[in-house]
């Protein structure tokens, strides 16, 4: 679009009149935007206006041309655009317009990094960080596809704020934090390595013990079927749900 605007501006400043002029562009969306009467783009509106001015005293057309097909002018424009991208420029104005999608992707990337650093550096949510080590902006969590009851069970498991002895002891409901096996009964213990649930773990996850590093990769659907199958674990987690 900027190229068409500059070509038309140049013709206007040279006071070209009574000529047959064709401006070729390989950008079809630009040509479509120029054909539209109403546009939200200031650049498109400016380009449209200057084309009208030049067209009022010349026979002016804007035509689409396929890119990268060896057309003389198009090849020169591509080469100059490439050279322009590689140049360093210190001006406040960019030499070439930057696509909005590129700017948005950069902003998203920057925000995600900021969020990730904050998540990593915070001292709270230690259990949740084991299940969710990386934040995500764009991809929606698979937890959002779960029904209300299943979601509450998964959130309770991930945060550790559920009817397990460790949490119940912390809030003063249970006199001790211990599992029947003798270990501290956290949600992670019940899912990952409580010996009482080895058979169910083999059945649902195909392994007897799950390491802490593997927890984040477990699918929520499998976790739910395991929780339901483990009797006392399911009972405890469902009570809190």
According to CB under 5 A, which one of 103, 108, 143, 181 is a site residue for Zn ion?
181
Q: Kindly indicate which of the ranges 10-18, 86-94, 177-185, 233-241 contains the residues binding Zn ion, using the contact rule CB under 5 A.
A: 177-185
224: contact with Zn ion by CB under 5 A: no
To which residue do tokens 């035509």 refer?
A: 63
The secondary structure element, H or E, covering residue 62 is strand 59-64
Residues 185-214 that bind Zn ion (CB under 5 A): 194
CB atoms within 10 A of CB 95: 12
Report whether 186 contacts 164 (CB < 8 A).
Answer: yes
Q: How far is the CB of 209 from Zn ion (least distance, A)?
A: 12
C-alpha to C-alpha distance for 208 and 198, rounded to whole angstroms: 5
Give strand pairing partners of 22.
61
30: contact with Zn ion by CB under 5 A: no
Token digits for 13?
A: 């400043």
CB atoms within 10 A of CB 214: 12
Nearer to Zn ion, 52 or 232 (CB): 232
Nearer to Zn ion, 47 or 186 (CB): 186
Q: How far is the CB of 193 from Zn ion (least distance, A)?
A: 8
Q: How far is the CB of 178 from Zn ion (least distance, A)?
A: 8
Give the phi and the psi of residue 23 in degrees, each rounded to 5. Answer: -100, 120
Q: How far is the CB of 194 from Zn ion (least distance, A)?
A: 3
SS3 61: strand
**CA-based Rg of the chain, rounded to a whole angstrom?**
31
Nearer to Zn ion, 94 or 195 (CB): 195
Nearer to Zn ion, 45 or 130 (CB): 130
Number of residues that bind Zn ion (CB under 5 A): 4
Question: For binding to Zn ion (CB under 5 A), which residues are involved?
Answer: 179, 181, 183, 194
């Amino acid at each position: 679009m900027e190229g068409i605007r500059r070509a038309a501006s140049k013709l206007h400043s040279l006071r070209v009149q009574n000529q047959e002029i064709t401006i070729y562009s390989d950008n079809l969306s630009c040509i479509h935007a120029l054909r539209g009467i109403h546009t939200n783009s200031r650049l498109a509106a400016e380009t449209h206006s200057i084309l009208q001015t030049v067209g009022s005293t010349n026979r002016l057309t804007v035509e689409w041309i396929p890119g990268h097909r060896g057309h003389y002018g198009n090849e020169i424009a591509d080469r100059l655009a490439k050279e322009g991208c590689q140049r360093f420029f210190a001006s406040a104005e960019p030499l070439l317009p930057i696509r909005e999608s590129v700017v948005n992707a950069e902003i998203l990337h920057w925000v995600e990094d900021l969020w990730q650093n904050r998540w990593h550096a915070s001292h709270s949510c230690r259990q949740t960080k084991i299940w969710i080590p990386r934040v995500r902006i764009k991809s929606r969590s698979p937890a959002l596809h779960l029904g209300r009851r299943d979601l509450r069970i998964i959130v309770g498991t991930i945060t550790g704020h559920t009817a397990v002895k460790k949490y119940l002891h912390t809030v003063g409901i249970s006199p001790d934090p211990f599992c029947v096996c003798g270990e501290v009964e956290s949600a992670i213990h019940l899912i990952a390595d409580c010996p009482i649930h080895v058979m169910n773990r083999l059945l649902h996850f195909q392994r007897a013990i799950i390491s802490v590093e593997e927890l984040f990769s477990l699918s929520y659907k499998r976790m739910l079927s395991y929780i339901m199958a483990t009797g006392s674990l399911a009972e405890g987690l469902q009570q809190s749900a």
